[in-house]
Amino acid sequence: NQRKANATIDEIWQDLEAGLQHIYRKEPMIPQRYMQLYTYVYDFCTAVSTHAGQGIPQQQQKNLIRGNNNNKKSANMQNETDFVGQELYNKLTNFIKNHVESILKESKTRTGVDQLRYFTTQWDQFTFCSRVVDGIFAYLNRHWIKRELENGNNNIYVIYTLALVTWKQTLREHMATSIVGGVLDLIEQERQGIAITSSLVKGVVDCLVELGIDEVVDSNNAAESTKAVNPKLRVYKKLFEDKFILATEAFYVCEAAAFLQGNPVPEYMKKAESRLNEEKFRCETYLHRSSLQPLERKCEEVLITAQLELFQTEFCVLLENDRDEDLGRMYSLCERVEGGLDELRKAMEAHVQKQGLNALEKVKEQANTDPKTFVLTLLEVHNRYSKLVEVHFKNEAGFVQALDKAATVFINKNCITHAEGSNAVSSSKCPDMLARYCDGLLRKSAKNSEDSEMEELLNQVMIIFKYLEDKDIFQRFYTKKFAHRLVGSLSASDEAEQSMIGKLKQMCGFEYTSKMQRMFTDTGLSRETSEKFSEKCSNSGKALGCNFNVMVLGANSWPSLGSSVPLNLPYTMSTCVSEFTSYYNEMHQGRKLTWIFSHSKGEVVASCFSKRYAFVAMTPQMAILLLFNSCTEMDGKTMLEGLQIKKEHAIPQLASLVKAEILQVKEGDVANLDETTKIALNLKFTNKKMKVDLTKFVARSEVKQEQQEVHQHVEENRKMVIQAAIVRIMKTRKTMAHSLLMTECINQLNSRFKPKVQMVKKCIDILIEKEYLARVDGQKDTYEYLA
């Protein structure tokens, strides 16, 4: 082939067109031919200047160019090239248009899958070939077209784009109806379970996406840009996605209605779940990823939102029947739509509350007196549903909250704590039960748990404790029991005690457990003190005549253990007491020791019976027994004189020994305990054991009294705590609206107890009267702090 210097358009176009046809037939082309075609374009574009003037008068040309171009100078320099570029461009446009029209014509003769196959194949070829053509026209792209674009001519495209735009313009209608219709048919078939050639769908989708190549953000159409639709996807969305979503909706509306007619809701949920997965997979496989969100939204709307009422009804049934897996499935479905979980949470709260109350109602008789039954019943219900929430509801915050609310109700307000005919003391029932349950765990006994097991049991206690409204009442009961365990050396293990205190501290803060901690410390220090005292006694040669251990308890940290009852101790013991008192006073000046004999105990050996027995006895019991060292029988009056104790304190102690059959009443009545009462040693006493615990024979009358005492203290104490909280808040806030102050105050105290609104208001009254607070002038609902 010879290069022709001054080629005219007609001269080159004939062969160029033949080349283009060759390319679009997708027949193999040798590089030389490709180069030849490229050269035609190059030559034509570069040679133009020499024959520029031939066709058109110069003047006219200039005007033409001015009209196109604002930059006069550059326009003059480039004018001829501009003109000729346009000519070549137009020829090519026409060529492509004819080619595409022939495709359209052919495509219209086909239908269904055949049509889709033809269309996608043609598309693939077309894009491939257009890229080749784009290469041949590279020189035009780089110069004439580039300049036109730079000058803002919107009707000129880079050659490859030109090809796609032409395709789009020509085939738009055809694609929108036949092709997309065919694709939607295919998808529907697949939804019905028929296998399809998904590559056909993918081919069309890719085509539509690629056809967005020339779309730009349309500044006139602000509404569209706010929807943040990528302009490049406009064709895809408009021609395909919108219709696809509509088809999806129609399909699933039908399917859901039909399926629910013949199937129960759990089956429907499985179906919905798998449908949602399928659609996601579909989108990932052959649709554009931007369709995922609208597709999922639509499916959720039809499959879930539209059925929410049905779900809510079914939810209760599933709860009743413990269908955990179905519940979980319902959760994951409803979680996907807005507000889908609201009703479910409410339903669960009501259900759990009812379950808790029912469970207690069933064991009412036993739970009323047995803390273990009470606590374990509560735990069982809580654990059942906490597991449900954790495993199947993924610990979603709203469900956790609903569970908490329900638990708070059934733990604090149930048939045990609010039994009919109960008095005001009843609000302390739950804390009392829990404290007694703890006592049962931590007290030394034959069936104490292993360390690891104990830890778990204490953790379970903390679950109930967390929901307890009256934590301050629990604190008092617990402290009392704790004191008894420490004083009586009844703790199963120090580690367990310490661990429990640690847990309480973690939940309620340092202040809550500071007294318990000091009690613990006192006990440890007492051990040391006792040892040192014994050491000192033996070193200084003073024989005490017995083993002597003492516990020194700080009056501020320990709950009242009952008043100190004066008692005339037997000689041996009184020596110990006075020796220790002087020893202790020497060590710590200014401290006053008060001896509480009613809580101390010891061991005595009796050699007057058939066998030699050791008795573990409370100190007052011991004092009585030791009286019988000098005689075997005495009257009540003598006994009281010997003991120097008040009658009402002596009677229960004496009664315990009579009950233990060590003493017997010869004449009169223990209840009178005067000259007429004759008490004698029962010399026939026998027992299987060599060591007999007499302490357990002492009747315990304290429980009721303890409850009342605790309750009274708590009321007073709460008022002080509330007032302190109000003052603290007002001190920092200076002025505050009534409702805010109430909320803040109740929030601050929630970890200790649940203050009643009326009580807080009462405290505000008191503080106004005491002139800590005043109402702000003219704003009766706002208080100010008076410094």
Candidate list 149, 306, 742, 746; residue touching other proteins; CB under 8 A: 742
Question: CA angle 759-764-765, nearest 5°?
Answer: 95
Strand partners, 665: 679
**In the complex with other proteins, which residue's Cβ is closer, 447 or 780?**
780
- Count Cβ neighbours within 10 Å for each residue of 448-465 and write b for 16 or more, e otherwise: ebeeeebbebbebbebbb
**In the complex with other proteins, which residue's Cβ is closer, 216 or 757?**
757
Which two tokens mark 212?
């967005």
**In the complex with other proteins, which residue's Cβ is closer, 337 or 742?**
742
Selection from 589, 523, 590, 507 nearest residue 558 by Cα = 523
Which two tokens mark 170?
């020509």
The residue with tokens 């009274």 is 712
What's the min distance (Å) between Cβ of 471 and other proteins? 24
Residue 770's H or E segment, with its range, is none
Edge-to-edge strands of the sheet including 663-667?
Answer: 633-635, 678-681, 663-667
What's the min distance (Å) between Cβ of 738 and other proteins? 4
Q: Say if strands 663-667 and 691-693 run parallel, antiparallel, or are unpaired.
A: unpaired
What's the min distance (Å) between Cβ of 408 and other proteins? 20
Candidate list 423, 540, 556, 739; residue touching other proteins; CB under 8 A: 739
Please report, as residue ranges, which positions from 752 to 781 form the binding site for other proteins (by CB under 8 A). 757-758, 761-762, 764-765, 768-769, 775, 780-781
What's the min distance (Å) between Cβ of 717 and other proteins? 19
Selection from 315, 464, 336 nearest residue 396 by Cα = 336
* Whole-angstrom distance, CA of residue 653 vs CA of residue 659: 10
Q: State which amino acid sits at residue 742.
A: M
What's the min distance (Å) between Cβ of 467 and other proteins? 24
**In the complex with other proteins, which residue's Cβ is closer, 347 or 742?**
742
Residue 257: how many CB atoms within 10 A of its CB?
11
**In the complex with other proteins, which residue's Cβ is closer, 384 or 762?**
762
Reduced to 3 states (helix: H, G, I; strand: E, B; else coil), residue 417 is: coil
**Region binding other proteins by CB under 8 A among candidate stretches 9-17, 100-108, 684-692, 734-742:** 734-742
Cα separations in angstroms, 139 against 146, 209, 218, 379, 485: 10, 28, 30, 83, 100
Q: Does 738 bind other proteins (CB under 8 A)?
A: yes
**Region binding other proteins by CB under 8 A among candidate stretches 295-303, 306-314, 680-688, 736-744:** 736-744
Helices (DSSP H) in 492-610: which residue ranges? Answer: 494-508, 510-539, 571-587
- Count Cβ neighbours within 10 Å for each residue of 186-200 and write b for 16 or more, e otherwise: bbeebbeeeebeeeb
Q: Which residues, at least 6 apart from 441, have a Cβ–Cβ distance to it below 8 Å?
A: 449, 454, 457, 458, 461, 492, 496
What's the min distance (Å) between Cβ of 720 and other proteins? 17
Edge-to-edge strands of the sheet including 735-737?
Answer: 735-737, 779-785, 773-776
Cα 356 off chain centre by: 22
**In the complex with other proteins, which residue's Cβ is closer, 320 or 715?**
715
DSSP 776: E
Please report, as residue ranges, which positions from 51 to 110 form the binding site for other proteins (by CB under 8 A). none
What's the min distance (Å) between Cβ of 736 and other proteins? 11
**In the complex with other proteins, which residue's Cβ is closer, 216 or 720?**
720
Instruction: Output phi, psi for 3, to 5 deg.
Output: -80, 140
Contact 611, 686 (CB under 8 A): yes
Strand partners, 614: 605, 691
**In the complex with other proteins, which residue's Cβ is closer, 380 or 781?**
781
Give DSSP secondary structure letters for 549-581: ------TTTSPP--PPPP----HHHHHHHHHHH
Contact 458, 499 (CB under 8 A): yes
**In the complex with other proteins, which residue's Cβ is closer, 505 or 738?**
738
Reduced to 3 states (helix: H, G, I; strand: E, B; else coil), residue 605 is: strand
Strand partners, 615: 604, 692
Radius of gyration of the chain (CA): 48
**In the complex with other proteins, which residue's Cβ is closer, 316 or 740?**
740
Give DSSP secondary structure letters for 337-364: STTTTHHHHHHHHHHHHHHHHHHHHHTH
**In the complex with other proteins, which residue's Cβ is closer, 500 or 760?**
760
**In the complex with other proteins, which residue's Cβ is closer, 362 or 756?**
756
Contact 590, 609 (CB under 8 A): no
Question: CA angle 361-364-366, nearest 5°?
Answer: 150
**In the complex with other proteins, which residue's Cβ is closer, 347 or 759?**
759
Strand partners, 491: 443
Q: Whats the size of the chain, residue-wise?
A: 787
**In the complex with other proteins, which residue's Cβ is closer, 48 or 760?**
760
What's the min distance (Å) between Cβ of 747 and other proteins? 15
The residue with tokens 């109000």 is 726
**In the complex with other proteins, which residue's Cβ is closer, 338 or 771?**
771
What's the min distance (Å) between Cβ of 759 and other proteins? 9
What's the min distance (Å) between Cβ of 721 and other proteins? 18
What's the min distance (Å) between Cβ of 437 and other proteins? 36
Size of the site for other proteins (CB under 8 A): 15
Cα 391 off chain centre by: 12
What's the min distance (Å) between Cβ of 783 and other proteins? 8
What's the min distance (Å) between Cβ of 646 and other proteins? 40
Pattern 687-726, other proteins, x by CB under 8 A: ----------------------------------------
**In the complex with other proteins, which residue's Cβ is closer, 337 or 746?**
746
What's the min distance (Å) between Cβ of 769 and other proteins? 5
Please report, as residue ranges, which positions from 269 to 298 form the binding site for other proteins (by CB under 8 A). none
What's the min distance (Å) between Cβ of 767 and other proteins? 10
What's the min distance (Å) between Cβ of 483 and other proteins? 36
Binding site for other proteins (CB under 8 A): 738-739, 742, 757-758, 761-762, 764-765, 768-769, 775, 780-781, 783
